């Protein structure tokens, strides 16, 4: 069992800490990790209608699609601070969104960046910027910690030495609120807002339909960019020897998605393409977390998993599918909260540690970037929301939320008081208690006003 005392030994961070399992670096595959910001699995290959995503659909047909992949946090900086390291953000003290930007905070103990481990193993590491005329990655890192050395060596895989394998991240911003939402409206074919199917917790309003359709336009734009990336890799002669992973960094940037532990906040698309990953076109239904991608990348590079480490490889003879995963939400921008969730293939247990804080406590990002938030508030004041739509406007959150995602995929029927679910709720509550202990969850540590301002 991991405890806080032994989670981070004080041994020096030498390259030998991650030992090579086999062969030289030149014998190992290139690794391309494609990351889409704020992207839930609204893709054709996931059965979502209206979108046109032929490039990602083709990748799924040639690889393996994971139907229950989740990031450890529903917001970018906390999630990225976890999956770029391989440890829960709540363990390394990087769980508060956009924290530690100016205080010199370093990763504790033996925690290290994945890219540094791969660099030490002989890989050229790149956070790719422009790879084709007018098409580029954003070079995003967004870590809640500081580094003594740059996280990546270059900005394109072509900068590597001859014969050297590469590990490249390409971070796409197409599905993130901002300029891409404007650019997506210029596509020759746009999603018809009248045809989108709204979740039951949103009111049927023109502004709500427009915001959702605009997001789906961005999904189409993302697919085009991924297509250019894969074509560029093919033209460079690197496609056949490159393991490809496509993943969202957290759920969609729409109300009740990003920043929340519902599936729309943590469930992301995950597609892998490599001969050992599984039968082409196959679908995995077991729950996995983004830290498992980190573990698989280390294995692809021929490296052992370090200690401590919270991910496990996605495939291999010794891999046992997970029965459940745990996700965590803490402060987002100026909005303080602490929420934890346990998810198995069917059920979701959510514990609200600050139930007195409503879903609608002020968050400037949501207030200014989510038109649906304004519509919901206006209709609530006018008494025009139904019972399901009013849930988000409640003056406080339940202490516990429990959902059967098979019969209630939108997570709107809280079964926490259902006597027939009592044993299952108790079991998942115990799982969370044990996880908090084993991973030394630091979410309960108070954060000062001074730290929030950094």
| pLDDT of the chain, 454 residues: tens digit per residue | 344 444 554 333 333 333 344 455 667 999 999 999 999 999 999 999 999 999 999 999 999 999 999 999 999 999 999 999 999 999 999 999 999 999 999 999 999 999 999 999 999 999 999 999 999 999 999 999 999 999 999 999 999 999 999 999 999 999 999 999 999 999 999 999 999 999 999 999 999 999 999 999 999 999 999 999 999 999 999 999 999 999 999 999 999 999 999 999 999 999 999 999 999 999 999 999 999 999 999 999 999 999 999 999 999 988 999 999 999 999 999 999 999 999 999 999 999 999 999 999 999 999 999 999 999 999 999 999 999 999 999 999 999 999 999 999 999 999 999 999 999 999 999 999 999 999 999 999 999 877 776 5
DSSP label at 48? -
Expressed in percent and rounded to 5, the helix, strand and coil fractions of the chain are 35, 15, 50
Residue 78: which H helix or E strand, with range? helix 76-83
Whether 176 and 253 have beta carbons less than 8 Å apart is answered as yes
- Measuring CA to CA, how many Å separate 353 from each of 240, 404, 414? 48, 21, 17
DSSP label at 256? T
If we measure between CA atoms, which residue out of 137, 130, 133 comes closest to residue 222? 137
Q: Two tokens at 266? A: 């943590």
Distance CA 70, CA 78 (A): 13
Query: Measured in whole angstroms, how far is the alpha carbon of residue 267 from the centre of its chain?
Result: 7
Adjacent-strand bridge partners of 247: 35, 270
Whose tokens are 């197409």? That residue is 174
Query: What DSSP line would sit under 87-151, residue for residue?
Result: S-HHHHT--STT-SSSS-----TT---HHHHHHHTT-EEEE--EEETTEE-------SS--SS-S
If we measure between CA atoms, which residue out of 219, 221, 207 comes closest to residue 372? 207
∠ CA 358-361-367, rounded to 5°: 135
> Quick check: helix, strand or coil at residue 49?
coil
């Amino acid at each position: 069992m991991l405890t806080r005392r032994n989670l981070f030994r004080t041994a020096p961070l030498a390259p030998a800490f991650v030992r090579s399992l086999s062969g030289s670096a030149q014998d190992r595959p290139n690794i391309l990790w494609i990351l889409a910001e704020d992207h839930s699995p609204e893709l054709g290959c996931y059965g979502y209608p209206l979108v046109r995503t032929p490039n990602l659909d083709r990748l799924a047909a040639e690889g393996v699609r994971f139907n229950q992949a989740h990031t450890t946090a529903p917001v970018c900086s906390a999630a990225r601070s976890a999956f770029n390291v391989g440890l829960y953000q709540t363990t390394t003290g990087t769980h508060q969104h956009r924290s530690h930007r100016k205080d010199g905070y370093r990763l504790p103990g033996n925690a290290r960046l994945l890219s540094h481990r791969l660099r030490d193993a002989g890989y050229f590491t790149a956070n790719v910027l422009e790879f084709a005329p007018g098409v580029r990655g954003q070079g995003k890192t967004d870590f809640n910690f500081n580094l003594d050395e740059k996280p990546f060596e270059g900005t394109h895989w072509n900068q590597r030495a001859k014969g050297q394998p590469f590990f490249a991240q390409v971070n796409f911003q197409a599905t993130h609120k901002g300029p891409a939402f404007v650019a997506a409206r210029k596509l020759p074919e746009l999603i018809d807002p009248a045809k989108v199917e709204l979740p039951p917790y949103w009111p049927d309003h023109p502004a709500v339909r427009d915001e959702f359709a605009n997001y789906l336009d961005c999904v189409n734009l993302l697919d085009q960019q991924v297509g250019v990336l894969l074509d560029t890799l093919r033209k460079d002669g690197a496609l056949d020897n490159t393991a490809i992973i496509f993943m969202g960094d957290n759920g969609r940037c729409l109300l009740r998605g990003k920043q929340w532990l519902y599936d729309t906040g943590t469930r992301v698309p995950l597609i892998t393409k490599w001969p050992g990953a599984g039968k082409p076109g196959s679908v995995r239904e077991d729950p996995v977390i983004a830290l498992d991608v980190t573990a698989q990348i280390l294995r692809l590079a021929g490296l052992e998993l370090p200690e401590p480490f919270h991910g496990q490889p996605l495939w291999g003879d010794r891999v046992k599918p997970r029965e459940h995963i745990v996700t965590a939400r803490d402060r987002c921008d100026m909005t303080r909260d602490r929420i934890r969730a346990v998810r198995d293939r069917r059920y979701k247990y959510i514990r609200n540690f600050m139930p007195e804080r409503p879903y609608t406590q002020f968050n400037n990002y949501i207030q200014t970037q989510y038109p649906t938030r304004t519509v919901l508030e206006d209709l609530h004041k006018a008494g025009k929301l139904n019972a399901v739509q009013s849930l988000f406007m409640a003056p406080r959150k339940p202490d516990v939320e429990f959902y059967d995602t098979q019969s209630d995929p939108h997570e709107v029927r809280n079964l926490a008081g259902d006597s027939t679910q009592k044993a299952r709720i108790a079991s998942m509550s115990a799982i969370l208690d044990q996880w908090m202990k084993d991973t030394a969850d630091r979410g309960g540590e108070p954060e000062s006003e001074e730290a929030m301002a950094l």
